[in-house]
Amino acid sequence: MPDELVVEGDGFQWDCSKRTRIMGVLNVTPDSFYDGGRYWDPYTAVRHGQRLAEEGADIIDVGGESTRPGAEPVELEEELRRVVPVIERLKDRTGQPVSIDTRKAEVARRAICAGARMVNDVSGMTADPEMVGTIASAGVPVVIMHTAGNPSDMQRNPGYRDTVGEVIDWLGARIEHAVAHGIRRSRIIIDPGIGFGKRLSDNLLLIQSLASFQKLNCPILVGPSRKSFIGSVLDAEKVDRLEGTAAAVALSVANGASIIRVHDVMEMRRVVRMADAICRARQE
């Protein structure tokens, strides 16, 4: 399990040796792969964010641009219109920090001004060259995720000779880039990018091999929630992937994940608590 890894944020500090944290997904989009359109208006989105916190989420991840396979980019002003009002209303209503899920530096900046205390960038800060400076200046934690290509084309023909090694090397280079530009290592979280430019076998191998990522000395976030690799294994539609998600979450915890990003917070909180209890048990 992770040892002596701490995430430092504004008003919160997570000791990753104590327990696995839960990031609750809040998509303010019409087209996200699982919950697109459910929380489209700010009032409904804020209520759902409060519910996620009540169910045990340690942080609420607000996103205004779908990054599902095949998704097209959203214009800056439209993404801002979707996320900023939700973050402004959520920041003081849940008791938990809010994260902004975006690839755009200006969205990150405006979201931080509105109250967000973490940035989750699925491009690993490659989509917008100003992102690294924005995060360094703001002094907030960042999730650096591995991806191959853009959401619109990432699943067309992904391929790796050494999936785990290539993803580790890519993340290592992005960590060094972040540190060189002023982001503290204690504010960096890494994500192997399950479902982002990956084949079924890649996704399974990455979860199986999470312990290998600990050499990067950063907390590991994993987001398997209801994704298509689960559907491929179980021959199940999105609405029938809860048990598959639970299995992926439990094994991610067992293999070294520090943070789990999920839609179903109440159910996965229980899975994480049980997995933590087993993995962290000591002889009395």
Q: Is 43 exposed, middle or buried (0-12, 13-18, 19+ CB in 10 A)?
A: exposed
CA-wise closest residue to 134 among 176, 91, 183, 94:
183
| 238 in catalytic set | no
Catalytic-role residue among 21, 174, 226, 261: 261
Identify the CA nearest to 240 among candidates 225, 224, 226, 223.
226
Spatial strand order in the sheet of 188-191: 188-191, 142-145, 118-121, 98-101, 59-63, 21-27, 259-262, 221-222
Give CB contacts under 8 A, 24+ apart, made by 207-214. 207/248, 207/251, 207/252, 207/255, 208/251, 208/255, 209/164, 209/255, 210/252, 210/255, 210/256, 210/257, 211/255, 211/256, 212/164, 212/168, 213/168, 213/171, 213/256, 214/2, 214/256
Catalytic-labelled residue, pool 103, 117, 227, 269:
227
187 is catalytic: no
**Cα separation, 98 vs 66, whole angstroms:** 18
Q: Which residues participate in catalysis according to the annotation?
A: 227, 261
